[in-house]
Amino acid sequence: MATVFKKTSMLTDKPFHYCPGCTHGIIHRLTAEVLEELGIGETAIGVAPVGCAVFAYDYFNCDMMEAAHGRAPAVATGIKRVHPDKAVFTYQGDGDLASIGAAEIVHAATRGEKITVIFVNNAIYGMTGGQMAPTTLPGQVTTTSPYGRDTNHCGFPVHVSEMLATLNGPAYIERVSVHDVAHVKKAKAAIKKAFQLQMEGKGFTLIEVISSCPTNWGKTPKEALEWVKSDMIPNYPLGVYKDITAGGDQ
Amino acid sequence: MEKQFLIAGFGGQGVLLIGQLIAKAAMKQDYEVSWMPSYGPEMRGGEANCAVVVSDEPIGSPLVSEPPVLIAMNKPSLNKFMPMMPAGGVLLYNSSLIEDPELREDITVIPVPCNEIAEKLQNARTANMVMLGAIRQATDVVTEDSLIATLQDWLGEKKAHMLDINKQAIAEGAAVVNA
Amino acid sequence: MKKLMKGNEAIAEAAIQAGCRFFFGYPITPQNQIPEYMSKRMPEVGGCFLQSESEVAAINMVYGAGGAGARVMTSSSSPGISLKQEGISYIVGAEVPCVIVNMVRGGPGLGSIQPAQSDYYQSTRGGGHGDYRMCVLAPSSVQEAVDLTQEAFDIADRYRNPVMVLGDGLIGQMMEPVDMDLCKDRKPAEDLTEKTWAATGHVPTEEAPRAIINSLYIQPDVLEKHCQKLQAKYDAIEAAECRWQEEETEDAEIVIVAYGTTSRICRSAMRKLRQEGIRVGMIRPITLWPFPEAAIRSTLKTARQYLCVEMSMGQMIDDVRLAVNGERPVDFYGRTGGMVPTVTEIVDKVKAMYDNDDLHKAEKAFNDTVGAVGNAFNKLGQKIEKAVNNPELEQKAENFRKQASDVANRAASGLAKGMDAMASTLGKAFSSIFGGAQPEEPKSTETVDTPAENNEGGEQ
């Protein structure tokens, strides 16, 4: 009998702890599959964040380090400088990367640190119970913006991919989504390209993945995916923001 | 034996170098030495000073709060540190830049016209070397040979051609003390 | 061959010679010569110097590189070390070895850039959050800074725990002769094993399974076990790594406790005080944690008072008091904010303590009394001299002599009684004045600890 699907060896057998309908699981799988397919997984070193993916070290089947909140790019820098020939990646959420870790991500990017960052943007703090994130949409209700995010009071969402694409250090930056099969396929291709460019020593690579958080958005999994399409993507347009192999910024 | 020096002036006068050369020359003679600079927000033309201690036993405090030997390369340094000297101390001051100083009577005072001599040697930058020669002559803290050898090390091959002029400046400084 | 080197540069070179190949740091005075030196030297030895965007990033890069199995160092000064505390706590929790240099400056806040010792609490009590300890080495000379920096890497690797080298602006900026030949190409200590735990990006084996470098233990019972394991390590560090130096403590009546820069000033003060006959000694902690408690307790035999001298408002004094445990008075002298105590200040302080000691007060009272009685006798004697010159008054003179001798006897016996009374109240300390015999009071039951065998204070 032909095998049509096999779980990647780059994920452990530990069941994910994520909520039903959360797309972290998909993003984990895509990352792990890419590591395996490129043959760099066994010797990869990953850095887990603080946030919903805090236990990522239990799932990715390679050497892993757990970083303090926001510091994953600095930790990855230390690792990569010691092992320049290994695939080094961080897996970070929006609070971790775009709020408390804003300095670390900007400087890892501008240094052209040869790492791959999987940036999961779901516009909310999940693990701590649905507080406003740096990427929370204007008007979006969270537990710390109960009247909806008032931009006059607490400003506007951070557009990480756009912002980092203005720097010279990054080799590849793309924003993708995983709300349907077609987009999942595109997301995997983006992640693959990022790791390839890292291994070629081209520079800093970051894939921003728009993700859902049904639990904290107060939606069913299906409604959440709809909301990604109707509200998230218009605010966070998908596409390649930087690609040094394309002969110019997009 | 323990000899303590406080060498003060403004940044760029080479006061830190005077101190380092004394410390290095003394180290060559197997003395215990310490050299401690003043440090502050990095700026040009600010005050600079260093404390040098030369001893035949391990050095306690590397700071010199009551300098038995004070080298003042400019007037603010003289005004600041002379009051801290113990009676019987030795003051060497740069008489080219310090005019009509009010000097204490309970210390030995040696005026050294550093800049005048340096200009006479047609190398204004040797003013600190003139003072170095005077210090050595007045205090005998290191031998002449070890000081010259240290100077030679410091100049290295690249600046070996500067040795003679610096030696000359040192000799002129020593002559002031002998006079 | 000896070389005149700045403390900061000597520390940097020592680290390289001990196999440190990674350095992450951020500029802050007074330690800038360390990153500057590293930026020049690391490329020469095939290592990596990286100027980070902040101290926060630097310590996390250290965490990454240390977790990846390398010998790694960072350096900073007080405000920057505050920023590193989060990272240090994670590094301890994840059991990653590294070396952190703190060239302490005056605080709190932005403070000053001059030398201080006001980070004692921060470095010895944790600084970051959680149940942890960190070995803290406090050099007092440039040569010692070199030696301790190299040892720091071994200690860090041995226990998989960060080690701090704690100097101050003076240690960092001062130049002293260093023998660099002795520290050249120093190999890791022989007891150190391969870092099979490290995240090197390796295919897992039985000896080196998949590495997870982590400080998260979400189950309280598991975290408690982890903390107990860490504590066992700290116990081992306390037993094996405590270092101190004793100077002239054998007969010391006043024992100074001081470390780093301050200990040097105290050493100069001690020389002056000894010349004046005051029996003063010093315990210089080389490790601030573990603190040389046993060494301090061993001086209880002779010590009547302790003086803790710091460039702070008094932090290490807590540890001195804990060691002395109320058995002797512990006094304090400190300057802070970047001010450095002078030799004269310490001499004056010790003299005041000496004079204030009940023993020396009594001694003085005794001497004064003897002097006064002597004077009285002298005057009496002079009168007698005059009297005996008059033959008519010979008989009177005879009586005079008798009276004088009576007076003398009475004075002597009164004095003796007084002395007995004083002796019994002042206890055994008086024995030294009265010729060494122990007073007949009950023997002290206190036990006096002997210093640990690994006392490295051989320099005394």
Domain spans of chain C, in order of start: 2-187+213-240, 244-356, 358-432
Residue C344 has pLDDT above 70, yes or no: yes
| Among the four given CATH numbers 3.60.40.10, 3.40.50.300, 3.30.1330.10, 3.40.50.970, the one describing domain A24-246 | 3.40.50.970
Q: How far apart are CA C217 and CA C286, in angstroms?
A: 34
Q: Which domain holds residue B87?
A: 2-178
Three-class DSSP category at B55: strand
Chain A touches chain B, with at least 3 Cβ pairs below 8 Å, answer no
Chain C touches chain B, with at least 3 Cβ pairs below 8 Å, answer yes
C64, C66, C213 member nearest A74 (Cβ): C64
Q: How confident is the model over A12-27, as pLDDT tens digits?
A: 999 999 999 999 999 9
pLDDT band at C438 (very low <50, low <70, confident <90, very high): very low
Name the nearest CA neighbour of B177 among B131, B146, B141. B131
Q: Give A94-107 as a 3 state SS string.
A: HHHHHHHCHHHHHH
Average pLDDT of span B98-114: 96
Average pLDDT of span A128-136: 96
A44, A71, A81 member nearest C22 (Cβ): A81
pLDDT at C455: 44
pLDDT band at C405 (very low <50, low <70, confident <90, very high): confident
CATH 3.40.50.1100 at C2-187+213-240, yes or no: no
pLDDT at C426: 59
Share of chain B above pLDDT 70, in %: 98
Average pLDDT of span C384-401: 68
C52, C57, C200 member nearest A63 (Cβ): C200
C267: chain B residues, CB-CB within 8 Å? 58, 60-61
- C449, two tokens: 């600890």
Residue C448 has pLDDT above 50, yes or no: no
pLDDT band at C406 (very low <50, low <70, confident <90, very high): confident
Residue A66 near residue A73 (C-beta atoms within 8 A): no
A64, A71, A77 member nearest C199 (Cβ): A64
pLDDT band at C442 (very low <50, low <70, confident <90, very high): very low
Name the nearest CA neighbour of C217 among C203, C228, C209. C228
- Tell me the average pLDDT of chain B: 95
C170: chain B residues, CB-CB within 8 Å? 36, 62-63
Domain C244-356 class, CATH top level: alpha beta
pLDDT band at C270 (very low <50, low <70, confident <90, very high): very high
Query: Which residue out of A59, A63, A80, A107 would a mutagenesis test of the C interface target, given it has the greatest number of C Cβ atoms within 10 Å?
Result: A63
A106: chain C residues, CB-CB within 8 Å? 53
Average pLDDT of span C43-66: 98
Establish if A42 touches chain C: CB-CB under 8 angstroms: yes
Average pLDDT of span C155-169: 97
Residue C452 has pLDDT above 60, yes or no: no
| List of residues 6+ apart from C307 with CB closer than 8 A | C254, C255, C256, C257, C330, C331, C332, C333, C349, C350, C353
Residue C91 has pLDDT above 70, yes or no: yes
Residue A71 has pLDDT above 60, yes or no: yes
pLDDT at C397: 65
Q: How confident is the model over A190-223, as pLDDT tens digits?
A: 999 999 999 999 999 999 999 999 999 999 999 9
Closest residue of chain A to C210, computed from CA coordinates:
A63
pLDDT band at C321 (very low <50, low <70, confident <90, very high): very high
Residue C259 has pLDDT above 90, yes or no: yes
Of the listed ranges A4-8, B167-171, C81-85, C233-237, the least confidently predicted one is A4-8
Kindly report whether the peptide bond that precedes residue C391 is cis, defined as omega within 30 degrees of 0. no
pLDDT at C439: 42
CATH number, domain of B95, equals: 3.40.920.10
pLDDT at C237: 98
DSSP single-letter state for residue C173: H
From chain C, which residues contact A within 8 Å (Cβ)? 22, 24, 48, 50, 52-54, 56-58, 60-70, 72, 86-87, 90, 94, 199-203, 210-216
| List of residues 6+ apart from C109 with CB closer than 8 A | C79
Q: How far apart are CA C299 and CA C318, in angstroms?
A: 17
Residue A117 near residue A90 (C-beta atoms within 8 A): yes
A57, A58, A74 member nearest C61 (Cβ): A74
Question: Do C264 and B32 make contact, defined as CB atoms within 8 angstroms?
Answer: no
Q: How confident is the model over B134-153, as pLDDT tens digits?
A: 999 999 999 999 999 999 99
Residue C456 has pLDDT above 60, yes or no: no
Establish if A141 touches chain C: CB-CB under 8 angstroms: no
Q: How confident is the model over A156-170, as pLDDT tens digits?
A: 999 999 999 999 999
Scanning the structure block, which residue is given the tokens 């990604």?
Answer: A228
Question: Do A64 and C212 make contact, defined as CB atoms within 8 angstroms?
Answer: yes
Name the minimum distance, in Å, from the CA of C98 to any CA of chain A: 12
pLDDT at B46: 79
B59: chain C residues, CB-CB within 8 Å? 176, 264
Residue C241 has pLDDT above 50, yes or no: yes
Q: How far apart are CA C13 and CA C3, in angstroms?
A: 12
Closest residue of chain C to A107, computed from CA coordinates:
C53
The strand pair at C72-76 and C98-104 is best described as parallel
pLDDT at C239: 97
Structural domains counted in chain B: 1
Q: What is the DSSP string of C70-131?
A: --EEEEE-HHHHHHHHHHHHHHHHTT--EEEEEEEB--STT--SSB--TTHHHHHS-SSSSS
Of the listed ranges A119-123, A236-240, B175-179, C421-425, the least confidently predicted one is C421-425
Residue C458 has pLDDT above 50, yes or no: no
Name the minimum distance, in Å, from the CA of C139 to any CA of chain A: 28
Residue A66 near residue A54 (C-beta atoms within 8 A): yes
| List of residues 6+ apart from A30 with CB closer than 8 A | A178, A184, A187, A188, A191
Establish if A68 touches chain C: CB-CB under 8 angstroms: yes
Kindly report whether the peptide bond that precedes residue C290 is cis, defined as omega within 30 degrees of 0. yes
Three-class DSSP category at C294: helix
Question: Do B23 and C4 make contact, defined as CB atoms within 8 angstroms?
Answer: yes
Q: How confident is the model over A27-38, as pLDDT tens digits?
A: 999 999 999 999
C2-187+213-240 and C244-356, same CATH topology: yes
Residue C69 near residue C199 (C-beta atoms within 8 A): yes
